[in-house]
Amino acid sequence: MEILTDRPEERYAPGSMLHREGSDEPLTVTWSSAVADGPGWRIQFREVADRAAAEALVGAYLEIEAGPAAALPRGAYFWHEVIGTTVTSTTGEVLGTVRDVYRSGGAEVYTVDGGPYGEFDVPGVRDFVRIFAPRRGEIVVDTAALDLAPAGARRGAGDPERPKAPRRRPGPRRKATS
């Protein structure tokens, strides 16, 4: 399993209960172990009796019951608290809304959509995110650091970063030989 928790030892301890996203049916951990030579964990569930049942979980998100014991430290948020938050620039321009969150490498990435820049990703690091307060409904990003261009904008012919077309050689073309 790919791990999205900071506390896998707690989450996957024998006896812990998980649920497939959107389901109330329990999945009770009977055994778990970190993968020694890579990321992730191997987990066995009481309710998953065979390979076919295990394959039905491929690609599924597993959730826990989040109650008072699941309180996060100050400055940390559950992904569902971030989704739907308005994203603005440092100048106050509305850039869109967080539509999805995923993890890449060691950082979370926020997919923003619905604004003048179309859909774009914001890595959740201080170089790009200036204010991160989803509970207040506020995420402020540095558009210059993200190098954003309005949706549909194309680089002009005089732009030095625009790739040049390959040059054609003058003269007759040769026939390919086999």
Decide: 135 and 87 in contact? Cβ < 8 Å. no
For 143, the 3-state DSSP assignment is: helix
Average pLDDT over residues 115-123: 93
pLDDT band of 114, cuts 50, 70, 90: very high
pLDDT band of 177, cuts 50, 70, 90: low
Structure tokens at 133: 């307060």
Alpha carbon dihedral 153, 158, 164, 167, in 10-degree steps, equals: 140
Average pLDDT over residues 101-108: 85
Condensed to tens digits (0 to 9), the pLDDT of residues 78-97 reads 888 899 999 999 999 999 99
pLDDT of residue 15: 93
End-to-end Cα separation, the chain, in angstroms: 51
Condensed to tens digits (0 to 9), the pLDDT of residues 9-18 reads 888 899 999 9
Element (H, E) at 139: strand 138-141
- The secondary structure of residue 70, as a DSSP letter, is G
pLDDT of residue 161: 59
Alpha carbon dihedral 77, 80, 83, 87, in 10-degree steps, equals: -20
Give the chain's domains with CATH numbers.
Answer: 8-67 (no CATH), 79-146 (2.30.30.240)
